Each structure stands twice: as C-alpha cells, then as structure tokens.
Amino acid sequence: MTQDILESPIINGTPSGSGLPTLILKRGTTLANYTRTAATFADVDSTNLKYTVVVPVGWALTVICRLSGFSSSILSNLDVRLLDSTASTVLDEQILTTAVGINVTLGYSLVGYIKGDGKTHSISLQFTSSVSPNQVNIANGANDYPKMLFTLQPAN
C-alpha cells in the first residue's frame, strides 16, 4: 500500500511562495515600562513592535494587539493606536481613561485589517499622553508586556 504525499500549493507572488498563511508575533522587550509625556503620537517601540510587509492582492493582513497601560496623572489619558504609516491610516484607536484613578493598570486590545493591494504596509503600535507633560505608561514587565499578532493569509 502506498501513501500519497500532499505538498503545499505553489502560488506565485505570495510572501512565502507557498500560498500558506504567515503568522508573526511581535512583543515588548520586558525590560521596563514604555513611557511618554508628549501630546503627539510616537511608536511605542519601533524595533520590536512594528512590522513591515507586502500584502498581496487577494490576501489580507489582520493585526491583534494586546497591552496594558496606565497614566501617572489624573490630568492625562493614555491614547493608543495601530498605525499603517505607509498609508497614513489608523487601523484602530482607544483612549485609556484615567477616570478609574492614576496608576491603575487596565488591559486593552486593538484589532486592525488591511485588504491586499500589492503594496508595502508598515504597522506600528503608537501612544500619546493627552496632556503634555503628564506621563502615560504601557506595561512592559516580565509578566505583562505588549503583544502584536500579525496574520497574512488568502482573503475570501
């Protein structure tokens, strides 16, 4: 009795050349909290929490981000977003309010989706303090750090 061996389909022009979905996990360094006092958006960590990829036509990129954050001042909210900087598009954004009190860590999720257009996309996690110079923080310790899961796959 012989057994057939199934091989991955070959699809030209796909990122892996195999036509199979690609999963990438990005995470914080776990070295120290990320902090910001400016009232303008900036990348949380442009080395570890940023991903650049071509999204082929007929494919889609989904992004799921999980983080915890807090403000060190009752006067300032922490605002976080997923930004596709190459398209200047905000994929998702949340304001982490200080109404519950200062230095109270809250967990949040962001979700983004990019329909394949054959172009390069650079997605990063960004944050800002709503009132400068009040400090906001994204937890980045051994047990609590930001995570970004990117899934590139054929779209329906």
8 A C-beta contact, residue 78 and residue 69: yes
Domains of the chain and any CATH numbers: 26-154 (2.60.120.1340)
Instruction: Between 20 and 55, name the one with better pLDDT.
Output: 55
pTM across the whole model: 0.86
User: pLDDT tens-digit profile of 12-45?
Assistant: 555 555 577 899 999 999 999 999 999 999 999 9
User: pLDDT tens-digit profile of 108-156?
Assistant: 999 999 999 999 999 999 999 988 899 999 999 999 999 999 999 998 7
pLDDT at res. 96: 80
Please choose, from the candidates 64, 79, 66, the residue with its C-alpha nearest in 3D space to the C-alpha of residue 123: 64
Provide the Cα torsion 75, 44, 148, 27; round to 10°: -120
